[in-house]
C-alpha cells in the first residue's frame, strides 16, 4: 500500500516559519491526527499534502489515489447527490462519462468498440457495477436519507452538503485519505458511523479535528506541528499530550541537574585554579566542557485558563419548565416538555442536527417564545447565554479590550487585562480590532465576557465551534469545576463525558429524553439510542 513521504519540506509566510526542513513519513494502514494550535499551519500542511498549495522547499511523494475532503460544494449544486459522491473515484467517473458518450453515438467504429472494451475493464476494476449502491451506503451512514440521493445537491441544507463531500472523499477505496475537520456538521450518530468506517479503512489517513474523542478513538498516531517541525507520537491525542509533557519534563529535570553540577564545578575551578591542585582543576574544566544544557525550545502550544465563578448562588430550584413546546410550519420540533433543574446540575443537550436542541435552549433563555407552556427561573438565578450564532454579538469598530471594558465599567484595567491574558490575548493582541477577529478569537472573547459577568447559570449552544483542542480542553475543565448550573448543547463527546451529569435528548419531535446520570450510563440505559452512538 502507498504512503506519504515528506522530504526537507519548508513553508512560511513572510518572516513567519510554519515548519522548517520537515522529514516525515505517513505509512499505509496507520491513522494520523494532525494537531497544533490555531495558526500552527495544520490546514496549510494538509493543502500541501493534497497538492493544492506549493511548499517553499522539499519534495512530497503521495499515494496514487487520494480521497480529499474539500469544502467546495458550490461547484456541484446542480449535480445529482449520488453522482457527487461517485466523482470521488476519478478513474471510475472519467471511464463512466466516456463510456456513456460513446454509447450515445449512432454508429460505433472498430476503434470505439476497442475503447469501450478498455473502459469496461476500468469500470470493472473500480467496482463500477456496485458504485451507486456503495455511494448510497456511504450517504445513509452519514445520515442522508435515500429520498435525497437522486436529488441535486442544492436540495440539501449546508451541513448536509458537506456530508456529501465527506462521502465523496471516502468513496472508491482511496489509498490515502486527507480529511480536514470531517466531524464538523456531523451529529453523534454520524460521528460514530465515521469512526467505525475509518477503523476498517486500510489506507493511510491524515485528519485534522477539534474533536478529542474522535482523535482518541481513531488515531494510531498523532503528527504534532510544533517547534517549527512535525513530531510523530504513538497513540491518540491524550497519549500525545502525555508524551509531550513527559519529554519536556525530563529535559527540564536533566537541565536542572546539569546546572547544579556546572555550578559546583565552576566553584571548584574558581577556588583552586591558583593553588597546587592543577590536575584536579583541569579535570573539572574538562567535565565542564562536556556538560551542555539542552535547549528547550518554546512550544507554540498555548492553553487558555477558563474559570467560571458566580457572584452569588441561585436558589435550589434553578428553573422550572412546564409543558413547553415548539412547532414550525405545522411540524412539531419540541413536543410538550416538563422538567425541574436544580442548582449545580450539568446538563448536556444532545442529538442529531435539526432535532431542536437550539430551539429548546432558546426557549429557556427567552430568545424564542414557546408555543405553549412556561419557563420560570428560580430565586436569584442569573443566566449567561452564548448562542450558536455569534453574528452581531460583538460590536464592530472597536477593540477586544475596549469592548470588554464597555461590558463592565466597574472592573479595573488590570482585571480586564488579566482576564484577556488568561484567554490568550496578550500584549498587542488585546487591542485587536473586533472587525478582524477569527472564529476562535470571537468565542474566546465571548467566554471572557461570561467570566466577567459571574452568572450562576450558563447556557451555551455549541461553544466548542471554532475553538482549537487546547481551548476545548480548557473549557471542559472550566465547566466541570464551575459550582453553578450548566446547560450546554454540544456534539463534543469528550466534553459531554467530562461535564454532564444529566442528558436531554430531543428525538424527532416525538419526545425529549430526560436522563439523570453520565453520558456513558445514558448510552447503556437507552439501548435504541446506544446502538446509534457506538
Main-chain phi, psi angles of 394, to 5 degrees: -110, 125
Compute the average pLDDT of residues 311-328. 96
Higher-confidence residue of 454 and 527: namely 454
Query: Does one domain contain both 461 and 423?
Result: yes
Q: Check if the beta carbon of residue 325 is closer than 8 Å to that of residue 370.
A: yes
pLDDT value at 248 more than 70:
no
Quick one: pLDDT at residue 17?
83
Quick one: pLDDT at residue 15?
82
Whole-angstrom distance, CA of residue 231 vs CA of residue 389:
36
Any domain includes 214? yes
Residue of 363, 347, 304 whose CA lies nearest to 490? 347
Quick one: pLDDT at residue 455?
97
Whole-angstrom distance, CA of residue 491 vs CA of residue 462:
8
Cα-based distances in Å from 23 to 11, 16, 58, 296, 457: 13, 19, 9, 20, 49
Query: Does one domain contain both 347 and 457?
Result: yes
Higher-confidence residue of 298 and 256: namely 256
Q: Check if the beta carbon of residue 206 is closer than 8 Å to that of residue 66.
A: no
For residue range 340-387, list pLDDT tens digits in order.
999 999 999 998 888 899 999 999 999 999 999 999 999 999 999 999
Quick one: pLDDT at residue 198?
95
Query: Does one domain contain both 258 and 370?
Result: no
Q: Which domain holds residue 488?
A: 317-533
Query: Does one domain contain both 333 and 476?
Result: yes
For residue range 410-420, list pLDDT tens digits in order.
888 899 999 99
Average pLDDT, the chain: 89
For residue range 156-174, list pLDDT tens digits in order.
987 889 899 999 999 999 9
Any domain includes 13? yes
- End-to-end Cα separation, the chain, in angstroms: 29
Any domain includes 470? yes
Dihedral Cα 324, 328, 330, 331, nearest 10 deg? -80
Model confidence at 298, pLDDT cuts 50, 70, 90, reads: low
Query: Does one domain contain both 284 and 327?
Result: no
Any domain includes 159? no
Distance of CA 508 to the CA centre of its chain: 26
Model confidence at 532, pLDDT cuts 50, 70, 90, reads: very low
Query: Does one domain contain both 200 and 273?
Result: no
Higher-confidence residue of 534 and 65: namely 65
Higher-confidence residue of 442 and 262: namely 442
> Any idea which residue has 488515531 for its cell?
219
Quick one: pLDDT at residue 445?
95
167-184 in b/e burial notation, b at 16+ Cβ within 10 A? bbbbbbebbbbbbbbbbb
Any domain includes 149? no
Whole-angstrom distance, CA of residue 352 vs CA of residue 491:
9
Whole-angstrom distance, CA of residue 20 vs CA of residue 229:
6
Q: Check if the beta carbon of residue 67 is closer than 8 Å to that of residue 178.
A: yes
Quick one: pLDDT at residue 529?
53
The 10 Å Cβ neighbour count of residue 410 is 5
Quick one: pLDDT at residue 249?
66
Query: Does one domain contain both 389 and 257?
Result: no
Question: Tell me, what CATH number does 336's domain have?
Answer: 3.40.50.300
Model confidence at 313, pLDDT cuts 50, 70, 90, reads: very high
Query: Does one domain contain both 223 and 283?
Result: no
Whole-angstrom distance, CA of residue 83 vs CA of residue 106:
26
Query: Does one domain contain both 394 and 260?
Result: no
Any domain includes 124? no
Cell numbers representing residue 102 in the block: 460513446
* Residue 75 DSSP one-character state: G
Whole-angstrom distance, CA of residue 225 vs CA of residue 35:
6
Whole-angstrom distance, CA of residue 423 vs CA of residue 435:
18
Compute the average pLDDT of residues 40-59. 92
> Hey, which of 84-88, 275-279, 303-307 has the most confident mean pLDDT?
84-88
pLDDT value at 533 more than 70:
no
Compute the average pLDDT of residues 110-139. 93
pLDDT value at 302 more than 80:
no
The reply to whether the predicted model has a pTM over 0.75 is: no
pLDDT value at 253 more than 80:
no
For residue range 376-401, list pLDDT tens digits in order.
999 999 999 999 988 889 999 999 99
Count of domains for the chain = 3
For residue range 68-116, list pLDDT tens digits in order.
998 777 889 999 999 999 999 999 999 999 998 998 888 888 898 899 9
Q: Check if the beta carbon of residue 37 is closer than 8 Å to that of residue 301.
A: yes
For residue range 461-478, list pLDDT tens digits in order.
999 988 888 889 899 999
Cell numbers representing residue 31 in the block: 491513522
Query: Does one domain contain both 322 and 209?
Result: no
- If 0-12 CB within 10 Å is exposed, 13-18 middle and 19+ buried, where does residue 499 land? buried
3-state SS of 455-482 is: CCEEEEECCCCCCCHHHHHHHHHHHHHC
Query: Does one domain contain both 192 and 273?
Result: no
Quick one: pLDDT at residue 534?
37
Model confidence at 294, pLDDT cuts 50, 70, 90, reads: low
Give DSSP secondary structure letters for 28-74: TT-EEEEE--TTSSHHHHHHHHHTSS--SEEEEE--SSEEE----GG
Whole-angstrom distance, CA of residue 88 vs CA of residue 91:
9
Model confidence at 228, pLDDT cuts 50, 70, 90, reads: confident
Higher-confidence residue of 2 and 195: namely 195
Quick one: pLDDT at residue 188?
80
Any domain includes 55? yes
Give DSSP secondary structure letters for 144-209: --GGGTTSBGGGS-HHHHHHHHHHHHHTT--SEEEEESTTTT--HHHHHHHHHHHHH--SEEEEE-
Any domain includes 75? no
E strand or H helix at 85: helix 81-86
Query: Does one domain contain both 415 and 385?
Result: yes
User: Residues of the chain with pLDDT > 90: what percent?
Assistant: 63
Amino acid at each position: 500500500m502507498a504512503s506519504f513521504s515528506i522530504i526537507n519540506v519548508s513553508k512560511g509566510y513572510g518572516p513567519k516559519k510554519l515548519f522548517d526542513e520537515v522529514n516525515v513519513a505517513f505509512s499505509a494502514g496507520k491513522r494520523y491526527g494532525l494537531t497544533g494550535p490555531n495558526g500552527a499551519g495544520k490546514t496549510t500542511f494538509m493543502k500541501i499534502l493534497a497538492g493544492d498549495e506549493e511548499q517553499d522547499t522539499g519534495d512530497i511523494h503521495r499515494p496514487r489515489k487520494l480521497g480529499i475532503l474539500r469544502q467546495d460544494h458550490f461547484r456541484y449544486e446542480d449535480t445529482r447527490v449520488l453522482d457527487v459522491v461517485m466523482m470521488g473515484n476519478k478513474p471510475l467517473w472519467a471511464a463512466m462519462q466516456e463510456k456513456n458518450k460513446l454509447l450515445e453515438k449512432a454508429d460505433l467504429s472498430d476503434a470505439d468498440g476497442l475503447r469501450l472494451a478498455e473502459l469496461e475493464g476500468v469500470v470493472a476494476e473500480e467496482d463500477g457495477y456496485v458504485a451507486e449502491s456503495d455511494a448510497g451506503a456511504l450517504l445513509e451512514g452519514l445520515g442522508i436519507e435515500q429520498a435525497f440521493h437522486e436529488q441535486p445537491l442544492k436540495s440539501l441544507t449546508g451541513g448536509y452538503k458537506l456530508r456529501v463531500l465527506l462521502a465523496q472523499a471516502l468513496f472508491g477505496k482511496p489509498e490515502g485519505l486527507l480529511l480536514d475537520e470531517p466531524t464538523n456538521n456531523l451529529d453523534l450518530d454520524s460521528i460514530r458511523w465515521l469512526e467505525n468506517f475509518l477503523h476498517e479503512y486500510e489506507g493511510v489517513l491524515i485528519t485534522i479535528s477539534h474533536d478529542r474523542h474522535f482523535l482518541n478513538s481513531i488515531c494510531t498516531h498523532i503528527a504534532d506541528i510544533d517547534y517549527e517541525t512535525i513530531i510523530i507520537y504513538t497513540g491518540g491525542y491524550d497519549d500525545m499530550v502525555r508524551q509531550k509533557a513527559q519529554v519536556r519534563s525530563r529535559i527540564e529535570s536533566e537541565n536542572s541537574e546539569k546546572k547544579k553540577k556546572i555550578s559546583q564545578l565552576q566553584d571548584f575551578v574558581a577556588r583552586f585554579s591558583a593553588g597546587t591542585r592543577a590536575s584536579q582543576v583541569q579535570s573539572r574544566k574538562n567535565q565542564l566542557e562536556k556538560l551542555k544544557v539542552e535547549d528547550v525550545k518554546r512550544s507554540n502550544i498555548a492553553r487558555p485558563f477558563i474559570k467560571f465563578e458566580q457572584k452569588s448562588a441561585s436558589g435550589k430550584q434553578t428553573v422550572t419548565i412546564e409543558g413547553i413546546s415548539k412547532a414550525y410550519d405545522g411540524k412539531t420540533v419540541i413536543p410538550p416538555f416538563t422538567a425541574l433543574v436544580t442548582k449545580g446540575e450539568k446538563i448536556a443537550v444532545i442529538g442529531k442536527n435539526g432535532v431542536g436542541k437550539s430551539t429548546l435552549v432558546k426557549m429557556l433563555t427567552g430568545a424564542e417564545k414557546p408555543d405553549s407552556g412556561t419557563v420560570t427561573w428560580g430565586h436569584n438565578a442569573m443566566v449567561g447565554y452564548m448562542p450558536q450564532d455569534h453574528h452581531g454579538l460583538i460590536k464592530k469598530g472597536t477593540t477586544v479590550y475596549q469592548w470588554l471594558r464597555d461590558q463592565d465599567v466597574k472592573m479595573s484595567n488590570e482585571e480586564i487585562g488579566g482576564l484577556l491574558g488568561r484567554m490568550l490575548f496578550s500584549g498587542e493582541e488585546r487591542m485587536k480590532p473586533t472587525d478582524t477577529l477569527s472564529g476562535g478569537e470571537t468565542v474566546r472573547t465571548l467566554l471572557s465576557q461570561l467570566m466577567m459577568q459571574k452568572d450562576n447559570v450558563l447556557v451555551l449552544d455549541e461553544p466548542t465551534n471554532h475553538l482549537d483542542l487546547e481551548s476545548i480542553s480548557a473549557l471542559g475543565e472550566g465547566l466541570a469545576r464551575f459550582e453553578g448550573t450548566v446547560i450546554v448543547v454540544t456534539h463534543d463527546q469528550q466534553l459531554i463525558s467530562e461535564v454532564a451529569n444529566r442528558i436531554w435528548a430531543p428525538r424527532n419531535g416525538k419526545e425529549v429524553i430526560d436522563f439523570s446520570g453520565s453520558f456513558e450510563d445514558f448510552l447503556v440505559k437507552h439501548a435504541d439510542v446506544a446502538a446509534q452512538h457506538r
